Amino acid sequence: VQLQASGGGLVQAGGSLRLSCVASRRTFSSYVMGWFRQPPGKEREFVAAISWSGGRTYYADSVKGRFTISTNNAKNTVYLQMNSLNAEDTAVYLCAWGLSRSSNTLYYTEDEYDDWGQGTQVTVSS
Protein backbone atom coordinates (compact mmCIF):
# COMPACT_ATOMS: atom_id res chain seq x y z
CA VAL A 1 0.00 0.00 0.00
CA GLN A 2 1.36 3.43 -0.94
CA LEU A 3 0.58 6.28 1.42
CA GLN A 4 0.53 10.01 0.69
CA ALA A 5 0.51 12.40 3.64
CA SER A 6 -0.37 16.08 3.42
CA GLY A 7 -1.56 18.99 5.50
CA GLY A 8 1.59 20.01 7.31
CA GLY A 9 2.79 23.56 7.57
CA LEU A 10 3.78 26.41 9.83
CA VAL A 11 1.40 27.33 12.63
CA GLN A 12 1.59 29.47 15.74
CA ALA A 13 1.48 27.93 19.18
CA GLY A 14 -2.09 27.28 20.20
CA GLY A 15 -3.19 26.79 16.61
CA SER A 16 -4.53 23.76 14.76
CA LEU A 17 -3.71 21.65 11.72
CA ARG A 18 -5.33 18.63 10.12
CA LEU A 19 -3.13 16.06 8.48
CA SER A 20 -4.44 13.65 5.86
CA CYS A 21 -3.03 10.37 4.60
CA VAL A 22 -4.47 8.68 1.54
CA ALA A 23 -3.85 5.00 0.86
CA SER A 24 -3.34 4.00 -2.76
CA ARG A 25 -5.85 1.20 -2.76
CA ARG A 26 -8.59 -0.26 -0.68
CA THR A 27 -7.89 -3.51 1.09
CA PHE A 28 -10.53 -5.90 2.24
CA SER A 29 -8.33 -7.22 5.00
CA SER A 30 -8.24 -5.87 8.52
CA TYR A 31 -5.63 -3.19 9.02
CA VAL A 32 -4.39 -0.52 11.38
CA MET A 33 -3.41 3.01 10.43
CA GLY A 34 -1.17 5.12 12.58
CA TRP A 35 0.68 8.38 12.83
CA PHE A 36 4.24 8.72 14.04
CA ARG A 37 6.47 11.77 14.25
CA GLN A 38 10.16 12.50 14.26
CA PRO A 39 11.22 15.73 15.96
CA PRO A 40 14.49 17.34 14.82
CA GLY A 41 17.45 15.36 16.13
CA LYS A 42 15.27 12.83 17.93
CA GLU A 43 13.99 9.32 17.44
CA ARG A 44 10.71 8.56 15.73
CA GLU A 45 7.82 8.29 18.19
CA PHE A 46 4.31 6.96 18.18
CA VAL A 47 1.47 9.52 18.05
CA ALA A 48 -1.84 7.76 17.42
CA ALA A 49 -3.42 4.66 15.89
CA ILE A 50 -6.87 3.63 14.73
CA SER A 51 -8.28 0.20 14.03
CA TRP A 52 -9.77 -0.78 10.69
CA SER A 53 -13.25 -0.68 12.10
CA GLY A 54 -12.59 2.77 13.50
CA GLY A 55 -13.94 1.59 16.78
CA ARG A 56 -10.68 1.74 18.68
CA THR A 57 -8.12 4.49 18.94
CA TYR A 58 -4.99 4.99 21.01
CA TYR A 59 -2.86 8.04 21.66
CA ALA A 60 0.52 8.84 23.06
CA ASP A 61 0.24 10.60 26.42
CA SER A 62 1.88 13.70 24.97
CA VAL A 63 -1.00 14.29 22.53
CA LYS A 64 -3.97 12.83 24.39
CA GLY A 65 -6.81 15.32 24.59
CA ARG A 66 -5.32 17.52 21.87
CA PHE A 67 -5.08 15.23 18.82
CA THR A 68 -7.82 13.15 17.22
CA ILE A 69 -7.30 10.35 14.71
CA SER A 70 -10.15 9.35 12.41
CA THR A 71 -10.76 7.56 9.13
CA ASN A 72 -12.91 7.81 6.05
CA ASN A 73 -12.79 4.26 4.76
CA ALA A 74 -14.72 5.16 1.62
CA LYS A 75 -11.86 7.53 0.72
CA ASN A 76 -9.07 5.27 2.03
CA THR A 77 -8.00 8.20 4.17
CA VAL A 78 -6.85 8.67 7.75
CA TYR A 79 -6.80 12.09 9.42
CA LEU A 80 -5.00 13.57 12.36
CA GLN A 81 -6.67 16.65 13.80
CA MET A 82 -4.13 18.51 15.91
CA ASN A 83 -5.30 21.23 18.30
CA SER A 84 -3.52 23.35 20.90
CA LEU A 85 -0.23 22.84 19.16
CA ASN A 86 2.98 23.74 20.94
CA ALA A 87 6.65 23.89 19.98
CA GLU A 88 7.22 20.31 21.16
CA ASP A 89 4.87 19.12 18.40
CA THR A 90 7.30 20.33 15.73
CA ALA A 91 8.30 17.26 13.72
CA VAL A 92 7.98 15.36 10.48
CA TYR A 93 4.72 13.45 10.74
CA LEU A 94 4.47 10.09 9.01
CA CYS A 95 1.47 7.87 8.43
CA ALA A 96 1.74 4.12 8.46
CA TRP A 97 -0.34 1.10 7.48
CA GLY A 98 -0.24 -2.38 8.96
CA LEU A 99 -2.08 -5.57 8.16
CA SER A 100 -3.84 -6.77 11.28
CA ARG A 101 -5.43 -9.87 12.71
CA SER A 102 -8.81 -8.35 13.46
CA SER A 103 -10.87 -5.25 12.88
CA ASN A 104 -10.10 -3.96 16.38
CA THR A 105 -6.37 -4.56 16.52
CA LEU A 106 -4.11 -1.59 17.34
CA TYR A 107 -0.36 -1.27 16.84
CA TYR A 108 1.90 1.05 18.80
CA THR A 109 5.39 0.27 17.56
CA GLU A 110 7.11 0.92 14.25
CA ASP A 111 7.90 -2.69 13.46
CA GLU A 112 4.23 -3.65 13.51
CA TYR A 113 3.52 -1.47 10.48
CA ASP A 114 4.16 -2.63 6.93
CA ASP A 115 4.04 0.51 4.79
CA TRP A 116 4.94 4.16 5.39
CA GLY A 117 4.20 7.49 3.77
CA GLN A 118 6.86 10.08 2.99
CA GLY A 119 6.05 12.42 5.85
CA THR A 120 4.79 15.98 6.15
CA GLN A 121 6.53 18.73 8.11
CA VAL A 122 4.73 20.43 10.98
CA THR A 123 6.42 23.48 12.48
CA VAL A 124 4.94 25.25 15.49
CA SER A 125 6.30 28.70 16.25
CA SER A 126 6.24 29.93 19.81
According to the model, what pLDDT value does residue 28 have? 67
Give the pLDDT confidence score for residue 72 in this predicted structure.
Answer: 87
Residue 73's pLDDT is what? 79
Burial class (CB in 10 A: 0-12, 13-18, 19+), 40: exposed
pLDDT higher than threshold 90 for residue 53: no
Measured distance CA(39)–CA(111) in Å, rounded: 19
Residue 121's pLDDT is: 98
Please provide the average confidence, as pLDDT, over all residues in the chain: 93
Per-residue model confidence (pLDDT) at position 76: 86
Q: What is the pLDDT of residue 61?
A: 98
pLDDT exceeds cutoff 80 at 13: yes
Residues 74-113 pLDDT 10s: 878 999 999 999 999 999 999 999 998 888 889 999 999 9
